[in-house]
Amino acid sequence: QSVLTQPPSASGTPGQRVTISCSGSSSNIGSNTVNWYQQLPGTAPKLLIYSNNQRPSGVPDRFSGSKSGTSASLAISGLQSEDEADYYCAAWDDSLNGPDVVFGGGTKLTVL
C-alpha cells in the first residue's frame, strides 16, 4: 500500500489530453513539493516534473504538473504513442524520524 495514491491505469487516444492524479496528506503533498517520473518499458525512471510544475530541460511542454492542497496532477496534452509508460508521483513525507521519500503506486498509461 503506497503512501501516495494514484489510479492504477489511465488511457487515451493520440492527440487527447490525459490527467493522472496523486493524492496524499498534510505530511507529504500538503507540505512538500511533488515530482513526477516517467518509466518507459524496460528502462529506469526519468524525471518528468519537479517542484510541482517545473520541467527539466528536454521534457516537452506537453507535460505539465499542478498541485492543490494534498493532491497533485500530471497532465499530458497532445498524447503520443511514445507516452505509453508508467508514471509515478513522489514527495517528501515529514515523519517523526525526519523526511522520508514516498512514492505513489504508479499509473500505467495506455495510448489506444
Partner 1 sequence: QVQLQESGPGLVKPSQTLSLTCTVSGGSISSGGYYWSWIRQHPGKGLEWIGYIYYSGSTYYNPSLKSRVTISVDTSKNQFSLKLSSVTAADTAVYYCARVVTVPSEALMYFDLWGRGTLVTVSS
Residues in contact with partner 1 by CB under 8 A are 2, 31-33, 35, 37, 43-47, 50-51, 56, 88, 90-92, 95, 97-106
Is the CB of 13 or the CB of 44 nearer to partner 1? Answer: 44
Pairing of strands 34-39, 63-68: unpaired
Is the CB of 69 or the CB of 78 nearer to partner 1? Answer: 69
Q: Least distance in Å: CB of 13 to partner 1? A: 26
CA-based nearest residue to 112, from 9, 22, 38, 5: 9
Alpha carbons 7 and 81: distance in angstroms, whole number: 20
Residue 41 has a CB neighbour count (10 Å cut-off) of 7
Is the CB of 8 or the CB of 15 nearer to partner 1? Answer: 8
Q: Least distance in Å: CB of 79 to partner 1? A: 22
Residue 28 has a CB neighbour count (10 Å cut-off) of 25
Q: Least distance in Å: CB of 55 to partner 1? A: 12
Q: Least distance in Å: CB of 88 to partner 1? A: 6
Alpha carbons 34 and 21: distance in angstroms, whole number: 12
Is the CB of 16 or the CB of 54 nearer to partner 1? Answer: 54
